[in-house]
Amino acid sequence: MLFQPPLPRRYEDYSRGDLVERIQRRKAEIGDRLVILGHHYQEDDVIRHADFTGDSLKLSQIAADQKNADFVVFCGVHFMAESADILTGDDVKVILPDLSAGCSMADMADIDQLEEAWDVLTEHVDDTIIPITYVNSTAAVKAFCGRHRGACCTSGNAKLVLEWALTQGGKVLFLPDQHLGRNTAYDLGHALEEMVVYDPHKRDGGLDVERMRSATFYLWKGHCSVHQLFTPDDPDERRREDSDVSILVHPECSWEVVQKADHVGSTEHIIRAVHDAPAGSSWAIGTEIHLVNRLANEHPDKMVRSLSRVQCLCTTMYRIDPKHLLHTLDALAENRVVNQITVDPEMKRDAVTALDRMLAYTAPRRAPAPTAT
């Protein structure tokens, strides 16, 4: 996690109304040189200022399409800002309003651990292994996959990317989220027995040679701290309360939770499912609470609530708030750039290779673009 210096005291003293007014004024001053991106999990007080909302990769692609933008302010977490820097031109400055907004999942797979794991697996396994990384990973991990014939994936296209990977080699190393890997491989018809968990904190990943050689999928021992909170008891409890409820969960949830769900899909899939559902329908959703609450507010004709009674909040995303956004814009108005996120050119090149492989296979079937606000 990067260190975020404390904001000047005046930002703590601004009222909510002051913050809204000052942010809007700064946006008008900077004009179309500025694009603000807001991830779906962001709080509403930040989303209201976003020019575009969406998931992480789609927002980075949108940023790359903004030909007049000199500054991209990404209201998300660190790996998302890295992705935006990877895809935008060298003349575009990508900014993260709070440097401490990281991602625990991305942090569970650092490049040193991955290189050590690769050495272990390739030493003991003769078959070709294709590394696939979820976009919720560092630029260094993406670049590694690009250098080793691998690719990136999103939760929406993981199935297509894994299908492609299996045509390139006999085995797949999937990181950093074991649950997305397990759920996707199972959905493709592979048995759980074909999957092993590679624990980077144990010698040889906690695997013996026989198990390494017999497995088809090596699932990195990582997870999303939000989706990990949903338990197999949650769907049962919601169904006891409401026999008509539809259980809709993100594939970052555990396999046990996914097996009890009626519907499983990416963030964009969840949004579309609720939007297209008939009035009066009832939904219990297994994903981050800010998105669930936003869907409930946008669809008052439907019953929408969280699958869990626990507050499933992305605490690192929550570090991006109106105070830090205003501080970022104030600096830009004064011709200063704070909290710029940059990716090394060589790393950027290899990461783009991993992203391009994904897009080459999945682009014709990509989901529609997220909405502008």
Asked if residue 43 is part of any domain, the answer here is: yes
- Whether residue 251 is found in the same domain as residue 336: no
| DSSP H helix total and E strand total for the chain | 17, 13
- Whether residue 241 is found in the same domain as residue 294: yes
Give the per-residue pLDDT at 368.
37
Give the per-residue pLDDT at 367.
38
Tracing tokens 């903004």 back to the chain, one arrives at: 66
Prediction pTM value: 0.93
**161-180 pLDDT tens trace:** 999 999 998 899 999 999 99
**CATH number of 71's domain:** 3.40.50.10800
- The tally of domains found in the chain comes to 3
- Whether residue 156 is found in the same domain as residue 130: yes
Among 171, 201, 220, identify where a domain stops.
220
CA dihedral 253, 255, 258, 259 (to 10 degrees): -170
- Whether residue 259 is found in the same domain as residue 177: no
How far, CA to CA in Å, does 15 sit from each of 47, 187, 323?
18, 49, 10
Name the nearest CA neighbour of 11 among 310, 281, 291, 326. 326
Name the nearest CA neighbour of 63 among 93, 43, 26, 27. 93
- Whether residue 110 is found in the same domain as residue 216: yes
Structure tokens at 11: 């930002």
Task: Determine the straight-line distance between the first and last CA of the chain, rounded to whole angstroms.
Answer: 30
329 CB-contact burial (10 Å; exposed 0-12 / middle 13-18 / buried 19+):
buried
Whether cis (ω within 30° of 0) applies to the bond prior to 176 is: yes
Give the per-residue pLDDT at 1.
61
Asked if residue 373 is part of any domain, the answer here is: no
- Whether residue 146 is found in the same domain as residue 73: no
Asked if residue 356 is part of any domain, the answer here is: no
Domain that holds residue 206: 106-220
Per-residue 3-state assignment (H helix, E strand, C coil) for 218-240: EEECCCCCCHHHCCCHHHHHHHH
Regions of the chain short of the pLDDT cut 70: 1, 363-373
Give the per-residue pLDDT at 363.
65
Q: Is 97 helix (H, G, I), strand (E, B) or coil?
A: coil
**318-351 pLDDT tens trace:** 899 999 999 999 999 999 999 999 999 999 999 9
Tracing tokens 């669930």 back to the chain, one arrives at: 292
Asked if residue 1 is part of any domain, the answer here is: no
Give the per-residue pLDDT at 201.
97
Q: What angle do CA 232, 235, 238 make, to 5 degrees?
A: 140
Among 253, 278, 306, identify where a domain stops.
306
Give the per-residue pLDDT at 125.
96
Asked if residue 351 is part of any domain, the answer here is: no
DSSP string of 20-51?
A: HHHHHHHHHHHGGGEEEEEETTS-HHHHTT-S
Give the per-residue pLDDT at 373.
40
- Whether residue 75 is found in the same domain as residue 151: no
Asked if residue 67 is part of any domain, the answer here is: yes
Structure tokens at 137: 């990973």
Asked if residue 207 is part of any domain, the answer here is: yes
